[in-house]
Structure 1
Amino acid sequence: MRVIFAGTPPFAAAALNALADAGHDVVLVLTQPDRPAGRGMKLTPSAVKQAALARGLPVHQPATLKTPEAQAELRAAAADVMVVAAYGLILPQAVLDIPRLGCLNIHASLLPRWRGAAPIQRAILAGDTETGITIMQMDAGLDTGAMLSKTVVPIRATDTAASLHDVLAKAGAEAIVAALANPGAWAAAAQDEAQATYAAKLSKEEARLDWREAAESLARAVRAYNPAPGAWTLLDGAPLKVWAAAVVPGGGKPGEILRADAAGLVVACGSGALALQEIQPAGSKRMTAIAYLAGRALAPGSRLGD
């Protein structure tokens, strides 16, 4: 099958590689323009661009798909289908109408739950026990198109956004290959709008831990914001990132340090307590809380968050 592929991050690169390995003719790859990255802010190609170039596939990086020039290039590709995964650009109706079989999206949730930009993180934050992959026939709405297939993936109690991302990337790659293997069997099912929820984009400020919340909620936040933007709090007025934490017995004023010794760093929450296991002080590398406390004394009764 002749395929146009549109995507940007590693989640999408997994699907691109799977489609090429399955023997599909990927006639054009669309991805976001190179962005500055790293300490030197050097222009860096996306994961999808790197995967495409490694396979010798043609790459196009338009700033928008709304121009006649961009749409003419898509028509010239004469594709049967366009596969989209975390691309980052809006597809106007004129683009959706170009491929013979339309445009399919690989979405990292069980639609209609968690439409939008951050479905993986929102599922963890909400305490969902499962998520998955939906292969969807795209329309002009935000993740509102008819569904072709769903793959359920359990959310483990230890999953971070990073670990769940990797499981879903593999599931998404397998699901799109299965879908394209037999387009004659596609049976589109409409989404139930009454069940829809929205996965808003994450912000750094949102990732600041509010110690008035329950320990269980804060533990989910630590997992959901790992690796980005990273859960954080304040210690002596400076940011302290929290990369791993666990709920433990305890109680006190929210943010109060209940224990800070060789046994660990335990902080009181709105209900229960949170043991900080891996942290990152401002200007330092990630380290265990025990390693951090070995070089610094924190008196019980001190507070985080102020």
Structure 2
Amino acid sequence: MGQLVNGVWQDTWYDTKSTGGKFVRSTAGFRNWITPDGAPGPSGDGGFAAESGRYHLYVSYACPWAHRTLIFRAIKGLEPHIGVSVVHPDMLSDGWSFADDWPGATGDPINGAAFVRDLYVKARPDVSGRATVPVLWDKARGTIVSNESSEIIRMFNSAFNGLTGNTQDFWPEELRAEIEEVNARIYDTLNNGVYKSGFATTQAAYDEAVGALFETMDWLEDRLSRRRFLVGNSITEADWRLLPTLLRFDPVYHLHFKCNRNRLIDFPNLWAYTRELYQYPGVRGTVNFDHIVRHYHYSHESINPHRIIPINPVLDFDAPHGRDQLAA
């Protein structure tokens, strides 16, 4: 996966030599917000009003950060209002591609781009940084609204309520402080921790990352033994941010990223919790294990140089979860 430097593509991998073998994720470069009336959000520029058909979401089914935006698009009733395009699962020297010769890959009917990087250059010709997904695109202004998934899901949570009539709130004000605290630990040690483990290039960096990862999984297993969801009495943003990582754990992270002290299915409460969230209306349709398994094992040549695709375990995400009676 390369990067753009002043609008020019360079095929360079992450530099771990300067960080002692540690993987350090880049920050998002587009941080505008869709709001009900187009008023400025917490960052970026204003002028992005919530309108049906105006915005388009570019995603990878494989990417967990893009996956969380697909989940919110589904559960908040936004599918009729926000279109979606899906990249090819193989991310090679040109980055994410809009080749459509793989089941589920759609091409780019909005801009006719060949690669995701083309969207970044169209939005900002001198852009520098990684050309990542998700990309939330404004068709009216021909630019990127945001490429920060944590902020896109908060837009989807509330900005379009007046259009959809769906007022379910996954970021309730009274729980925000606790949600933020839980999010911070899970992001650092688990959502991003699997990458810090898998992309580490020294033993010390790997040991530090994978140790923190399983400390958090143990913590989650204990927390979910006593409560149905992570925060409060119902599903919140914290649960939806965790789910994409859990869904990928046994098919990808356990083997490919060497997160192999335990499997997800070795944690009875976490595994049942994962099944409950997967079975939530609309969520199942956002999951594509074919893209997930293909992407990681084929795209990361430095980890899997022969690009062998493993057969993987057969997991029944539709099995009864039995968590209905657990106190939230």
Common topology (TM > 0.5): no
Larger of the two Rg values belongs to structure: 1
**TM-score, scaled to structure 1:** 0.28
Q: Which has the higher helix share?
A: 2
**TM-score, scaled to structure 2:** 0.26
Q: Which has the higher strand share?
A: 1
